[in-house]
Structure 1
Amino acid sequence: MVVKETPMPLRPSKQVQDPLEDIRQLDNIECGVAARKAFAFPDGYRNLNHGSFGTYPAAIRSKFHRFADLSEERPDAFIRYDYPRLLDESREAIADFVHAPVDACVLISNATTGINIVLRNLVFKPGDVIIYFATIYGMLPRRRTHETLADSNKTTPAESRQVEYIYPISDNALCSAFEDVIEDIKAQGKNPRLAIYDTIASLPGVRMPFERITALCKQHGIFSLVDAAHSVGGIPIDLGKLDPDAYVTNLHKWLFVPRGCALFYVPVRNQHLMRSTLPTSHGFVPRPTGDGSAAQINPLPPGKNTAYIENYKFAGTLDNSPYLCVPAAIEWRKKLTWEGKQGEDAIYGYLENLAQKAGKIVSTKLGTEILNNDDGTLTKCFFNNVRLPLDYQQDAGGDFATAVTIAQWMSRVLVEEYDTFMAFLVHDDTWWVRLSAQIYLVEADFEWSADILEQLCARVKKGEWKKT
């Protein structure tokens, strides 16, 4: 008896319905109390530090999980064929959002990766100088990267120079300090090759005059690398108008995309400089040797994009489901409302307004002040910084390491005893707390945080931090 094999069913054809239809059908969501219900926070928890890691609403979480499920149902079919198509849709969505050519936009895991890609691809010559600003992200990962490069003759002959300043400082003074460093470098017969700077600095959380700095870089022939970890989704960004040489921004912080996802923008004029992803992967194109020895076989299906774009399509085996959530996040944001405004206008307006009110609430309670300049430009964003009523000499003995230890103790106590978190920093021998506004927070949240901060500072003055 011959047993006939049942033929395997053909793979179901691609769905043609609108993948964002469920989000389009949502009712409008007013920023504040109503918006909080869209997120996964448990009762009693106040997410007061959105700026560090971000989060996203339940409507986006369902999309995220669906993409992860699809990649497991048919791994090869999804990763090799469906994922590149969906990735292009995400690139198109974010390019439109930031007013940039789609061929200049790729997605990577985070801003730190983008900074590393630029610094490790650019070819530096003796006399080249990398300029960075004193409050660059925590003075940690980004600074360490280019200082490692600049200090190692094995990787690059470039040097590094810091623009020195202390907040609060005016935009005019900051730009003048930048130009002073440029002129000093030139006076030494050296070449200011690259400048790295923030849109919104992290600690302290202040807006920098990044538009003016970018223009100055162009004026002086300096490669502008914008560390925009805090930008897209939090403030309006027009990359076509800004026109930096390279720009990297996290999308998992302020755009409500799952972690980790970042936009890496490099205009076509500079893409030949960015030869490798980080890590180098299948899309890398070796320099021609003339004898064919550099030829290689890419195990992934050929794509329709430029070699630069294809290089970023697959940079090692990772779960890139967050990348595919960009269109859904942008669509969901259109549902948000505030004071008669809709979508992006409502979000930007609510964030800056709440940040301003939060700074006033907390500083009034603590009897201190916010960190701002006379022109009020530092606080034109979603952050505010309030001085804590602690004395650097009396409470830390005038020692920076001790001051940091106290800040770390306060952070831990907030998590363990108060079920929240706020970012602390020590700047100019002073403790500050960074207040992070978001659409799911209201003034009452910052009234509560002001009470907690008052209690915490009193405990520091009693020396409680020394007991742990």
Structure 2
Amino acid sequence: MLRHWLLDPAITYLNHGTVGATPTSVLAVQQALREEMERQPARFLLRELSALSGQSPRAVPRLREAADAVARFVGARGSDLVFVDNATTGVNAVLCSLDLRPGDEILITSLAYGAVVNAARYWAERARARLLTVELPFPLRHPAQIVSAVAEALTPRTRLAILDHITSETALVLPLAEMAAVCRSAGVPVLADGAHAPGAIPLDIPSLGVDYYTGNLHKWALAPKGCGILWVAPERQPDLHPPVISWGLGQGFTQEFDWVGTKDPTPYLAAPAALDLMREWGLEAMQTYNHRLAWEAAQVLSSRWGTDLPAPEVMLGCMATLPLPLSRGKTREEAARLQYALLYEHRLEAPILCRDERLWVRVSAQVYNEIEDIERLAEALESALHML
């Protein structure tokens, strides 16, 4: 499958989850869209892209057509979904639209993505609200640990819970629907950070019971870089605005997000081609293969190093984060040196993380990977660790 990507064949790439990698056929669709746009830029951007001008010659504007296709992929309606550059942008859209007051609380977990934590802290501090962090254990032994921890942390002042669907560093598939249910019973709206979910696991957003869901398509859904989505429950849409206010202000949810100024919209417009490609290859088969390889990697590396598995199989998707032997490094500086050594000395790309004064490696499994890549990683790590 590697021939379908531009990835350097001299590098063993086990880092698909970080920024994704787009197949060449999808890049070709994107380039064709760019060339079409440049032939008549004003017509393409101002009259065909969105309904804002009111003069589109198309029955359905280009962005709405793409949104309808993506929405079907995630079990939703196109009218409830807009495009954003990435999941962090989607999180900021919700946070900057939130009517926070002094003393209010935003709830996050200790496994949240760093950029999301920063955004939540920023908007909380502006309103003199509190950012409350629920400490979750890692490794995790059972999903119920998370649900009960979230339930116990909710208070009458909680105005929003930001919950991961799949955590970034620790690569855990969390019980999002169950967490959302306990928040809903307490009257707390939920913003789901699904950065790693679309394409990686089966996804039906409305069934999760959340109020907002943001995710990336440029990771596991194979779209070009800078392609994310924000789904919003209909009752929440009137109060939501994009971080960049532009000509769509006051004209409705989709109108506001569909035009935030001149930019390259081709990552969004090429996303349906990426989803079609996954269906052509067999979406369920891809997800099954990637999950099995990630789980096998977890078993192989844990057994080889005599370490514990980070979670039960049900909590792993297409990635796994494994602890390195305890005696080998415990600082962020050592993690960075080790990651650089993997790439520049062993021609292998995989994130090395530092958590709780211990080093961890996160393995991403995409269809261009195989178990031999995992074995190569183990040998490279064992060689590089001796140099710390």
TM-score class, shorter: over 0.9
Residue 298 of structure 1 aligns with which residue?
Answer: none
Residue 171 of structure 1 aligns with which residue?
Answer: 143
The alpha-carbon deviation at position 280 of structure 1 amounts to 1.2
Are 1:356 and 2:311 matched, yes or no? no
The equivalent position to 1:209 in structure 2, one of 164, 175, 180, is: 175
Residue 53 of structure 2 aligns with which residue?
Answer: none
Secondary structure at the counterpart of residue 90 of structure 1: helix
Q: Counterpart amino acid of 1:252?
A: H
CA distance in structure 2 between the aligned counterparts of 1:315 and 1:178, rounded to whole angstroms: 35
Are 1:108 and 2:84 matched, yes or no? yes
The alpha-carbon deviation at position 407 of structure 1 amounts to 0.3
The equivalent position to 2:110 in structure 1, one of 128, 134, 137, is: 134
> Does the CA-based 8 Å contact 1:110-1:260 persist in structure 2?
yes
Q: Counterpart amino acid of 1:148?
A: Y
Residue 405 of structure 1 aligns with which residue?
Answer: 333
The equivalent position to 1:330 in structure 2, one of 261, 264, 275, is: 275
Are 1:279 and 2:244 matched, yes or no? yes
Secondary structure at the counterpart of residue 377 of structure 1: helix
**What CA deviation, in whole Å up to 9, does each residue of 1:50-91 have, x standing for no partner?**
000001111101001111111211110111223332211110
Residue 5 of structure 2 aligns with which residue?
Answer: 39
- Structure 1 segments unaligned to the other structure (5+ residues): 1-34, 286-305, 337-342, 397-402, 461-468
> Does the CA-based 8 Å contact 1:366-1:454 persist in structure 2?
no
Counting only pairs closer than 5 Å after superposition, residues 206-285 of structure 1 correspond to structure 2 as 206-274=172-240, 276-285=241-250
**What CA deviation, in whole Å up to 9, does each residue of 1:270-307 have, x standing for no partner?**
00110x2121111112xxxxxxxxxxxxxxxxxxxx62
Point out the more displaced range, 67-76 or 362-371.
362-371
The alpha-carbon deviation at position 441 of structure 1 amounts to 0.6
Residue 94 of structure 1 aligns with which residue?
Answer: 70
Residue 76 of structure 1 aligns with which residue?
Answer: 42
Residue 160 of structure 2 aligns with which residue?
Answer: 194
CA distance in structure 2 between the aligned counterparts of 1:50 and 1:124, rounded to whole angstroms: 36
Q: Counterpart amino acid of 2:122?
A: T
Cα RMSD after superposing both structures: 1.5
CA distance in structure 1 between the aligned counterparts of 2:257 and 2:125, rounded to whole angstroms: 29
The alpha-carbon deviation at position 98 of structure 1 amounts to 0.8
CA distance in structure 1 between the aligned counterparts of 2:221 and 2:97, rounded to whole angstroms: 28
> Does the CA-based 8 Å contact 2:248-2:255 persist in structure 1?
yes
Secondary structure at the counterpart of residue 386 of structure 2: helix
The equivalent position to 2:95 in structure 1, one of 88, 111, 119, is: 119
Secondary structure at the counterpart of residue 204 of structure 1: coil
CA distance in structure 2 between the aligned counterparts of 1:45 and 1:208, rounded to whole angstroms: 31
Residue 382 of structure 1 aligns with which residue?
Answer: 318
The equivalent position to 1:148 in structure 2, one of 110, 117, 122, is: 122
**What CA deviation, in whole Å up to 9, does each residue of 1:351-409 have, x standing for no partner?**
11110111122223333333115xx4332x111122111427xx44xxxxxx1100011
Q: Counterpart amino acid of 1:334?
A: R
The alpha-carbon deviation at position 130 of structure 1 amounts to 0.5
CA distance in structure 2 between the aligned counterparts of 1:350 and 1:279, rounded to whole angstroms: 40
**What CA deviation, in whole Å up to 9, does each residue of 1:426-467 have, x standing for no partner?**
22332111111101111111111111111111211xxxxxxx
CA distance in structure 2 between the aligned counterparts of 1:149 and 1:81, rounded to whole angstroms: 35
Q: Counterpart amino acid of 2:118?
A: R
> Does the CA-based 8 Å contact 1:175-1:212 persist in structure 2?
yes
The alpha-carbon deviation at position 251 of structure 1 amounts to 0.3
Q: Counterpart amino acid of 1:389?
A: P
CA distance in structure 2 between the aligned counterparts of 1:73 and 1:362, rounded to whole angstroms: 52
Secondary structure at the counterpart of residue 459 of structure 1: coil
**What CA deviation, in whole Å up to 9, does each residue of 1:7-42 have, x standing for no partner?**
xxxxxxxxxxxxxxxxxxxxxxxxxxxx21111123
Residue 307 of structure 1 aligns with which residue?
Answer: 252
The alpha-carbon deviation at position 242 of structure 1 amounts to 1.2
CA distance in structure 1 between the aligned counterparts of 2:368 and 2:299, rounded to whole angstroms: 19
> Does the CA-based 8 Å contact 2:238-2:252 persist in structure 1?
no
> Does the CA-based 8 Å contact 1:108-1:264 persist in structure 2?
yes
**What CA deviation, in whole Å up to 9, does each residue of 1:87-125 have, x standing for no partner?**
111101011111112110011100000100100011112
Q: TM-score, normalised by structure 1?
A: 0.78
Larger Rg: 1
Are 1:450 and 2:378 matched, yes or no? yes
The equivalent position to 2:365 in structure 1, one of 432, 437, 461, is: 437
CA distance in structure 1 between the aligned counterparts of 2:270 and 2:347, rounded to whole angstroms: 29
Secondary structure at the counterpart of residue 335 of structure 1: helix
> Does the CA-based 8 Å contact 1:211-1:242 persist in structure 2?
yes
Q: Counterpart amino acid of 1:146?
A: A
**What CA deviation, in whole Å up to 9, does each residue of 1:174-219 have, x standing for no partner?**
211111111xx34xxxx21100011110111111111111111111
The alpha-carbon deviation at position 171 of structure 1 amounts to 1.5
> Does the CA-based 8 Å contact 1:166-1:428 persist in structure 2?
no
CA distance in structure 2 between the aligned counterparts of 1:415 and 1:447, rounded to whole angstroms: 16
Secondary structure at the counterpart of residue 229 of structure 2: strand
CA distance in structure 1 between the aligned counterparts of 2:168 and 2:292, rounded to whole angstroms: 19
